Amino acid sequence: MSDWNVLMVGAGTMGRGIAEVFAAKGIEITLYDAFPEQLKKAKEMIQADMKYYEQEHIVSPEEVKNTEKFISYEENLDKACSKINLVIEAVFEDKDIKRDTFNKLDSLCAPDCIFCSNTSASNIFEIAQIRNPERLLITHFFNPPYVMPLIELVMGPKTSTAVVEKVKDLLTSLGKEPAVIKRYIPGFIVNRLDNVLCREIGYMITQGWTTAEDVERAIRYTSGTRYSFEGPLSLHDVVGWDLTTTVSKNIYQTLCNDTDCDRLGTELIKEGRLGIKTQKGCYDYKGINTQEFMNKRSHKIIKMLKAIRTLDDPE
């Protein structure tokens, strides 16, 4: 039996997925949502997710049963807060709603209950006014939470190292790969790096120097292949920092340094090309079935993760 008793506030895309992560490993988790119909939907979606993960062989029959046994669905927040020692907030990305949620949680939960937020874009440390802020941190899961191993753990100015270590140990025991960021910075690690890359890609394409297809080909068949087993720092160790530093000197001054807009994004938005949801983005998605497309995408992620594990642990 686990000592953890978790509350998930918000039963949308992320909330239900995060609940699967904990429950599958036998940890009691309560799903709460301000809109009861979301709880019903979450229960159905969790069953559908488990069916799919069973097909993909990434969940055992016992873990599927655990998601039925260890997730409870609660419409009453007072009741949901009664015996928990960890809460994760995944409500809408709206500062007022998040502030109000943490106000309520602070008045209902034990003063040593750990408070986590799944926010992607809010400085929760300025928003949440809670007693004992040393127990507040961001646990940023990726979608779908059951599949994606990385969780960014972001500390606020008062977050205690002991609390972060405790949460890190817990997430590691669930098979996740936590990465710690010691202060709040917009985008954390992953979205910051994605923006660095996309700013330069947008620059090269809008200058007419290359095409979307060729940039993606270049990434998939070099960095993309290597990144699954060695990050850019390990690569520089292989090449030698004397050489990489000389190369950087020539390149840095020619890089895009826009600070106001995403050049490519702005052009695409003007043309109504928002991506899959408008059936056109950088590429054409006319006539595709979105659910099928997303499942195929998840299938590729799962296959890659299995391959990476084989590389890490050849036995």
Ligand X SMILES: NC(=O)c1ccc[n+]([C@@H]2O[C@H](COP(=O)([O-])OP(=O)(O)OC[C@H]3O[C@@H](n4cnc5c(N)ncnc54)[C@H](O)[C@@H]3O)[C@@H](O)[C@H]2O)c1
Give me the residues that bind ligand X (CB under 6 A), please: 9-15, 33-35, 38, 90-93, 97, 101, 118-121, 140-141, 143
- To ligand X, the closest distance from the beta carbon of 272 in angstroms equals 22
| Of 75, 72, 26, the residue nearest 46 (C-alpha) | 72
Q: Which is nearer to ligand X, 15 or 202 (CB)?
A: 15
Rounded CA gap, 85 and 83, in Å? 7
Q: Which is nearer to ligand X, 14 or 204 (CB)?
A: 14
- To ligand X, the closest distance from the beta carbon of 73 in angstroms equals 12
- To ligand X, the closest distance from the beta carbon of 177 in angstroms equals 15
Helix runs in the chain, H state only: 13-24, 36-55, 61-69, 77-80, 95-108, 124-127, 161-173, 190-206, 212-220, 223-227, 232-239, 241-252, 263-270, 290-312
Amino acid at residue number 245: T
The CA distances from residue 217 to 190, 213, 226, 243, in Å, are: 21, 6, 14, 25
CB 276 within 8 Å of CB 297: no
Q: Which is nearer to ligand X, 154 or 215 (CB)?
A: 154
- To ligand X, the closest distance from the beta carbon of 195 in angstroms equals 15
- To ligand X, the closest distance from the beta carbon of 35 in angstroms equals 4
| Of 253, 235, 257, 231, the residue nearest 244 (C-alpha) | 235
Name the residue with the smallest CB distance to ligand X: 12
Q: Which is nearer to ligand X, 34 or 212 (CB)?
A: 34
Q: Which is nearer to ligand X, 42 or 114 (CB)?
A: 42
Q: Which is nearer to ligand X, 65 or 79 (CB)?
A: 79
- Taking residue 297's Cβ as centre, other Cβ atoms within 10 Å add up to 11
- To ligand X, the closest distance from the beta carbon of 219 in angstroms equals 21
